[in-house]
Structures are given as C-alpha cells and as structure tokens.
Structure 1
Amino acid sequence: MQNAQRPNLENGAYVTDVTYPAQFVRELMPLWLGSTLTSLGRLAPDVDQAFDWLELGCGAGLSTLVAAANHPAAHFTGIDLSQREIERATALATRAGLANVDFICQSIEAAADAENSTSPPKRDFIVCNGVYSWVGEPVRKAVERIVAQQLRPSGVAYLSYMSQPGAASFSAAQRLLRLMARGHPGDSAAQARNGMNLLLSLEQAGAGYFVEHPAAARDMQQASAGSDAALAHEYLNEHWQAFHAADILQSFTSIGCEWAGSAMPLDNIDAVSLPAQVQPIVQQLRQQGADALLLETVRDIARNQNSRMDIFQKARSSLATNRLDLSEHRQALLRQKVMLAPPARLGELTSGQHLVLSTRIGPVDIPFAQVQPLLEAVQDAPRSYAELASLPAYAGNPGFINQVLQVLAWAGWIRFIRSPTSTDLEEIEQRCQRLQQVLKDAGLGDWHIDAHAATAMPQGSA
C-alpha cells in the first residue's frame, strides 16, 4: 500500500466524487415540527401562513422540494457545497414549477460569513440534517452562527447528529473503513464497499470487537444493506464524531436557543422510550430539579442512543416565553387534526392483539384496546383532537390522547394534517403531483406526496 490513494474528499474532508443519495426526512417537514412542538406545550409556527425556511447541507434537496411544494406561501432555500447536487435540485424545482425555492452552491462557512450580523433575523426554520457529525469544528461553529444571526425569535432550529453513547462503539469500524479506502482504486463508493466487506468478514470470523459490541455489529449489518454511495458519505469523511447531547444543548443555549425536545416523538415520552426500571429514576431526578443536560444524558444512556434529532427554539424577550400555559396548550391540542395512514392496516388487528413498536430499548407492546377507539374513529374520516377527546374511552383522561397520537405518528399509523383554514388544497395537490412525476422521471423514486399531511412517503406505503 505504499502508493495507496486517499479517499476522494473535497479539501481532504468531505466525500464529493459520488452523488449523495436523495433522501427524504419526514422530521424536517414544517407540519411535523409544528405538531411535535404543540404536543410538547410550546408555541408552534403557523405553517399555513408565509414563512422562511433554510436547509444547511441540502444535498439533492428532496426534503426541501417536498416542503416547498406543500407550502406555496413560504420561501425555501437550500445550500450545499456540491455543485452537482445544487444543479440537480435546481433543475428538479424548475421542472416542477416550484418558484418558491432557491438552491445555492455554497459552503456553510461561506453562508455564515456572508450574513450581515446587523441585519434582522429572517428565518422561521433552519434545519440541518446529516451534516453536523461529519464536518469539522469550523463548519459546526458556522452552523451555530447562522442560527444565532438568522433565526427569528420563536423560530425553529432542527439539528441531527450522531450521539453518545450508542454511536461511539462504531468509531473503530469507521476508522478501518477509511484506512481500507487508501489502498483501493476507484471512487469513494467502491472504496467504502471494499472496507465494509472486510468488516463483515471480521464479524463472521468472530472478531472480539463485534463480540463485545453487538450494537456495532447490528449497525454494520444495517449500513451494509444500503447503497455503496451511502456508505461512502456516511463513513469515509475525515470527520466522524458522536456528540454528547449535553454539549450540543449547551452550545445552542449559548446562542440564545431553548431546547424544546426531539423531532422523534417517541423520545419525548419516557413511558415508551425508556426501560421500565429506569423511568422512576428519571422521575426522581426531575423532582429533584435536574436540568435538561442531565436528564437527556441519562435518557441517552438508558436507550444507548446512537442518533438524535433535536428541536430548538430561539428565545423570545424576557417578557415572553415559547412555553404555552395550560389553557393555551389545551386549545392548541384541540385544534389539531389527524387521519389514519394507511387505512388498510387497521383491519390487521383485533382487540386482543398488541401494537409492537421497534425501539432503541427493544420491542414495546401497546395493548390494542388502548388505541382501538381512536383508530376506529379516524378510519372513515379525519378527526380533530376535540372529537377524539369526546370519545367515552378517553373521557376521563383526554391528555392521554396527546401521547397516543405522537406514538402513532412516529409509528406511521396516523398523520397530522392541515387545519380547516389551510391554503387551497387543490392548488397544493397539483404542485405535489407535478413534483411526484418529476422525481419519478428523474429516477429518484416513486413517491406519494400527501398535500393533506404535507409530507411524502414511497408509493405502496401510502
């Protein structure tokens, strides 16, 4: 390996020679984020009105395109350092007739430097998915500068990253992948697959690393099932770091943001995301006044969390808060509306069965009798939270519906949908249908873009 080549990286840091796989992330969608904030008792942006959205590291722009199609009154911007990805995203937007979205070829550092810190904040949403753990500190600091400078008070920042302790066990395997890439010809995708084949051989041979770290073996098997390009972008970058949630929360607090919760609703509900024996420990810590830094660290240890999707909100003035009082929270919940998704699945269950959720702590059983009245109520037509709260099964505990809806949304059983005062859905449906066809023609998948729920899913799961 004396003449071995380095992985194909931009400035020696980030893979750019192979196309980043087009990826839709439902947790980035404005309606999803708003519904999650409402469930948490926080002020949520009105996504039926005009707003401004920025995605940092948008790649092929699939999530930004879906959001733009669903929200014609809003303006969307996606930035990425790959000229190829930006040209592809721009072409897709043009063919779909989406005039409310711009894609800019620019590094995150350049975007932060270009912003005049004296100009007023203008963004209602700033989202950054699949970037933070794979870039160096200067880029991470640039992300934080953009949020500090551009996010409006009460605006929403979303950040995904690999987290401790769950992702830490794979760091040795990631290093091996990078080392193997040095000695293999071809592009980054071929290099990544070559390294993954060696890892699989080591695991099958009983290497002690995988015996002692079964989570690493599980993560490797899952990663291996993906495309070679996805492997390259995930594991061949120079920077690959799992962060402690407490450090991220502290960093965003220092730029005037409040941690709101997780964009993965299940992680906001201890009763279904933590082992039963851990729940009273967390409850005791809360009663003792433990802050979010400690509580989230305990939760991450309890789940062996390997990734996080954190939601932050820009703080308001000292005289205002992003937290709703009990009456405001109740009214915000009652205005929510949901639909069953997809309807056919309800017939698969009977009252004696359980919904089984696959979670970080293993299978979690929910007796079907607890959710049957709710699911039956939405089987034929969308229902409001107020209508569900009036069902006899929940009359004594209407707050229970909040958690049930969040769990079912996470599991893909229900979808939150637009309010009755939403923008004309007929126009939005036409925009979504055009984008569906454009994506299909471009070979980016056969998608169903749901104008009611303002989200997308592969055809066949709709």
Structure 2
Amino acid sequence: MSDWTGGYVADIVYTHGYYAELNPQRLKLAFLMAGHVFPEVGTACELGFGQGVSTNVHAAASVTQWYGTDFNPAQAGYAQELAAASGAHARLYDEAFEDFANRSDLPEFDFICLHGIWSWINDANRQVIIDFIRRKLKVGGVVYISYNTQPGWAAMAPLRDLLAEHAQVMGAQGSGIVPRIDAALDFASRLLAGGAAYGRANPGVAKRLEAIGKQDRQYVAHEYFNRHWVPMSFAKMAEWLDAAKLTYATSASYLDHVDSINFNADQQQMLKELQDRMFRETVRDFMVNQQFRKDYWVRGARQLAPLEQQEQLRRQRFVLVRAPDRITLAVSGALGEANMQENVYRPILARLAGFQPFSLGELQEEMKSEGIAAGAVLQAIVILIGKGVLEPVQDAALIDAAHPTTRRLNRKLCEQARHTDTVSVLASPVTGGGLSLGRVDRLYLLARANGAANTEDAARFIVDALTAAGQNLVKDGKALDLREAALAEGIRIVKSMDEQLLPLLTALRIDC
C-alpha cells in the first residue's frame, strides 16, 4: 500500500451512498425537537466525502455553499464531475485533511460533517480535524459525526483486528483487496467453526461474521480493513471534541428520540434519574448495545424558550415521500419491531396522501377531529421521518432557487443509469435532500424527459437501455429474456409509474 493512503484502504473505491443526516433541514428539525437554537446553514463542509453523492445532492438542492475533501483522487474526480454537472459550485478537493485544513481560501462554516471517517483514521488525522473545527466552525455552528462505538463493538473488535491482520500478512501480494478480504473471511469462519474458545465466549460474532460475508466488498473494505480502526465510546468522543469547544446537542437518528421503542419502563425510569446528560448517553449505549452513533455537536449550545420552540415546530413543514399504500405500520427500535397505532397513523397518512407540504401546526389542528393529541401527532412525524417516508420541507423561495441545479444534477444521474446502477438517489429542491429511486425509476424519468410520446415508447426506452447494459427486466423473480415479454412488462411498469410514482416526483419537483 502506498504511503499517501496513511493506512486507509485506497485500492478499491468507496460505495456511492447517500446520507440524509447531512441535510441541513434534518439538522434544523432535530435541534428544534431538542429545544436548541439551530444555525441557518449558509456554508457547509464534508471531510472524507467518499464519492461525494451526499455533498452534491445537498449542494444542488439548497443555496448552501458546500466545500469538502477526500484524499482518494478517483473518488474526488467523480464528485467534481457531479458538481460540474449541477452547477451548484460545490468546491471539492482531493487533498489530505492537513492540506485541506491549511487552505487560505476556506470560509468559516455553519456545518461540518464527518460520516464514518472518524473510525478509520489515526490519531494524528483526528487531531488535524479537531484543530480544523476549532478554527473554522462558527460560534453556534454544528458538527455531524457518525462513528463505530462501544459497547456494541466490544465482542467483535478482536475478530475485526484478526481479519485486517490476515489480509495484511497472509493475503497474496498483488492480488488486490477483494481476494484478500474473501480469504480473511474464510479463515475466520473456519477458525470459529473449529471450536475456538473466543467464539464460544462470544456466540454472537459468528452471525455478524456471516452478515459481513454477504455485504458489498466495497463497503466491507472501507468499514473493516483499514489499518487504523477504533470503535470509540461516547465519553472518549466527548473528550476529543471538547478541545474544539463542542458540546453534545442531540442524536441525528430520529428514532433515537422515541424512548418507547428503545427502552422498557425500568430503563426509562433509570435514565430519568441520571442528572448528568453526558453520562446518560453512555448508559443509553449500554442499554441498546450501541454499535454506531450519529450525533450532532454544537459550539455554544443555546436553549429556546418553550413557547418559541413550540411556535417554530408548528411552523415547520413536511411532505410525504412514499406512497401511503407502501408504508407498513411497524417500526424497529432497540426493543425490536413495534406496531404503530392505526387509529393515529391512518388518519395522518390519509391527510398526507396528496404529497403536498403541510405544517405541523396545520396537521395538529386537523387531527383534533380524529381525537389525536398534538403530542401524538409530533411523535408520529418523528417516527415517519425515522422510517424514511416523511421529510422536512424548505422555504418556498429556497425551493425555487434550487430547482435548476437539482434538474441538472438529476439529468446527470439519470443518464448514468443507462450505463451503471451505482447511484440510487435523485435530488429534490422541496426537501433539500435526496430520494432513493431504483434504476428503472430513473430510466423512466429520463424517458419522459427525452420526450417519450406514449407508454409504449417509454417502455421501449427502458428495455433498450437495460438490454444495452446487459440486464433484463425481472418478473416473478425471473429475468425476461424475450424482448416481447420484456416490453409487455415494461408497459405495465410504466403505467404503474404514471399513476403512482409521477405524482410523487412532480410534488417533490424531481425532474431532469
């Protein structure tokens, strides 16, 4: 491995994932629920942006000026290509953290984001990041940081180290990272199957190893095979961030805000008895055996007055981002899967079915006639966002300003769907973020944008694009090899999308 990697996996690129927690609209609502003053995000930065999908989506879908760096030039090159296509003027570089941090042309930031990267770098780079935050984060600014944590990794960490060591010392030189990953996973499986005492003492690790073996190798390489990998406790993270004058604000995972799906009655009472907020977070992690945290930290936390908090919450608007008939009334928390109350959620989902933005206050007033209390409506909103079926909405002026850049970015991503299926998200100026869409969905949108005159033309475009890429439509689990069968299925799909998907895309102003 070459020296410029600093121990980080660089011979395979990272996945093209999208992470909604980086959306400033998500930040705003999380702070409101916690009763904190939130910053209006004019400038934002992502350190270690991977393929840059999240950065580019949020730059295109808002008026926020985004900056960022990722030391891998292949990843930075793709991110820059997306930025050029959208015209959002995101400033994205392929510099090491230290070089980027010392640039003289960077502004101060309202929002700095680190998704996962903290767990995979050495302490020297962590110190560079802390110094950067200390110098470049505005007073009142927010840091989003997600990271592997204890105690959820306590049992698995030794096996992770074994996997990485095997790949380094036993893998065939020059074979590439994927064969070395496969060999390491096979070795660890045989070790546990052979009756290793470690496996008997930690019975859950075999299932986790099996799950890792089924994951995408791009993800596995970056998640488990970096030279520097440290699952850090919340208390240790707080020590690091204290040097940048940061204090914990709230969780970026919306379902974390609903105690009833995560803690039993005794646990909830124990948490209420803990006066120290930071220690309470540590105890929460033990209660749920936390493996991965997603948190917002703030420089200079300020509390909203209760009345101001309620007024701002009631003004916040939301929009449904999935057809109501595709939403299951179940939610998964630390306690497992829980059923959602039909008498609460059915009326709310019926009200939202038209995909038109609404305010919390409006919904609370309308739900009074259904006997649903204001607090229950707010909790329902939080859970629906946590399930990924509801999103906060930007102000109308921001939606209009962002629409041209989202259209250009979406055009680029839809065109890419003709060749690859790596990016499964398009940008919405309404939510300021991304909507997950399948390859056929994106090809459908491209067909309509290219002037497909009727249903059959759109279906033919989709089938031809997939055929050219060596793929087929699938029906009942079987690939449709015959063109006539594929075209018939394509026509059925397009008709369904005209009825169900197009109204949603139109409401979210997702076009290309």
- Asked if these proteins are the same fold (TM beyond 0.5), I'd say yes
Q: Is the 8 A contact 1:432 1:451 kept in 2?
A: no
1:345 aligned residue (302, 319, 325): 325
Quote the Cα distance in structure 2 between the aligned partners of 1:269 and 1:343. Answer: 24
1:361 aligned residue (317, 332, 335): 335
Quote the Cα distance in structure 2 between the aligned partners of 1:141 and 1:313. Answer: 18
Deviation readout 1:274-309 (Å, 9 max, x if unpaired) = 233311111122xxxx22221001100000000101
Counterpart residue type for residue 285 of structure 2: D
Task: Name the SS for the 2:126 alignment partner.
Answer: helix
Instruction: For residue 11 of structure 1, report the CA deviation from its aligned partner.
Output: 5.1
Q: Is the 8 A contact 2:147 2:232 kept in 1?
A: yes
Q: Is the 8 A contact 1:19 1:85 kept in 2?
A: yes
Quote the Cα distance in structure 1 between the aligned partners of 2:70 and 2:386. Answer: 28
Residue 150 (structure 1) aligned with residue 150 (structure 2):
no
Instruction: For residue 410 of structure 1, report the CA deviation from its aligned partner.
Output: 0.9
Q: Is the 8 A contact 1:188 1:229 kept in 2?
A: no
Higher helix share: 2
Residue 127 (structure 1) aligned with residue 107 (structure 2):
no
> Which 5+ residue runs of structure 1 have no aligned equivalent?
1-6, 316-320, 350-354
Residue 166 (structure 1) aligned with residue 152 (structure 2):
yes
Quote the Cα distance in structure 2 between the aligned partners of 1:188 and 1:164. Answer: 27
- CA change 1:241–1:328 in 2 (3 A) is same
Aligned to 1:183: 170
Residue 60 (structure 1) aligned with residue 47 (structure 2):
no
Aligned to 1:433: 410
Residue 307 (structure 1) aligned with residue 287 (structure 2):
no
Instruction: For residue 142 of structure 1, report the CA deviation from its aligned partner.
Output: 1.3
Q: Is the 8 A contact 2:399 2:430 kept in 1?
A: no
Q: Is the 8 A contact 2:16 2:423 kept in 1?
A: no
Alignment of 1:184-333 (within 5 A): 184-185=171-172, 186-204=175-193, 207-285=196-274, 290-315=275-300, 322-333=302-313
Q: Is the 8 A contact 1:429 1:451 kept in 2?
A: yes
Quote the Cα distance in structure 2 between the aligned partners of 1:157 and 1:249. Answer: 12
Would you say how many aligned residue pairs link Structure 1 and Structure 2? 433
Q: Is the 8 A contact 1:415 1:453 kept in 2?
A: yes
Counterpart residue type for residue 250 of structure 1: E
Aligned to 2:35: 41
Alignment of 1:66-85 (within 5 A): 66-71=57-62, 73-85=63-75
Instruction: For residue 400 of structure 1, report the CA deviation from its aligned partner.
Output: 3.2
> Which 5+ residue runs of structure 2 have no aligned equivalent?
442-500, 502-512
Instruction: For residue 10 of structure 1, report the CA deviation from its aligned partner.
Output: 4.7
Cα RMSD after superposing both structures: 2.5
Counterpart residue type for residue 260 of structure 2: A
**How does the TM-score come out when normalised to structure 2?**
0.78
Quote the Cα distance in structure 2 between the aligned partners of 1:452 and 1:52. Answer: 19
Q: Is the 8 A contact 1:180 1:195 kept in 2?
A: yes
Counterpart residue type for residue 75 of structure 1: Q
Counterpart residue type for residue 53 of structure 2: L
Aligned to 1:399: 375
Counterpart residue type for residue 341 of structure 1: V
Quote the Cα distance in structure 2 between the aligned partners of 1:420 and 1:41. Answer: 24
Quote the Cα distance in structure 1 between the aligned partners of 2:4 and 2:263. Answer: 40
Instruction: For residue 222 of structure 1, report the CA deviation from its aligned partner.
Output: 3.0
Aligned to 1:23: 17
Larger-Rg structure? 2
Aligned to 1:385: 360
Counterpart residue type for residue 17 of structure 1: D
Counterpart residue type for residue 454 of structure 1: G
Instruction: For residue 153 of structure 1, report the CA deviation from its aligned partner.
Output: 1.4
Counterpart residue type for residue 80 of structure 2: T
Quote the Cα distance in structure 1 between the aligned partners of 2:101 and 2:95. Answer: 10
Instruction: For residue 311 of structure 1, report the CA deviation from its aligned partner.
Output: 0.2
Task: Name the SS for the 1:78 alignment partner.
Answer: strand
Deviation readout 1:390-440 (Å, 9 max, x if unpaired) = 121687742333332111101122222223443416425423422432553
Q: Is the 8 A contact 1:177 1:236 kept in 2?
A: yes
Counterpart residue type for residue 458 of structure 1: S
Deviation readout 1:30-80 (Å, 9 max, x if unpaired) = 212222222222222335xxx111100111111101111101x22111201
Deviation readout 1:246-297 (Å, 9 max, x if unpaired) = 1212332332222111110111332222233311111122xxxx22221001
Q: Is the 8 A contact 1:257 1:314 kept in 2?
A: yes
Q: Is the 8 A contact 1:25 1:63 kept in 2?
A: yes
- CA change 1:387–1:99 in 2 (3 A) is closer
Q: Is the 8 A contact 1:15 1:233 kept in 2?
A: yes
Q: Is the 8 A contact 2:60 2:86 kept in 1?
A: no
- CA change 1:379–1:11 in 2 (3 A) is closer
Instruction: For residue 314 of structure 1, report the CA deviation from its aligned partner.
Output: 1.5
Larger displacement relative to structure 2 (54-63 or 399-408): 399-408
Quote the Cα distance in structure 1 between the aligned partners of 2:348 and 2:97. Answer: 44
Aligned to 2:436: 458
- CA change 1:356–1:395 in 2 (3 A) is closer
Deviation readout 1:110-164 (Å, 9 max, x if unpaired) = 3334469xx9x61011001111111111111111111111111111110111111
- CA change 1:91–1:341 in 2 (3 A) is closer
Task: Name the SS for the 2:339 alignment partner.
Answer: strand
- CA change 1:14–1:189 in 2 (3 A) is same
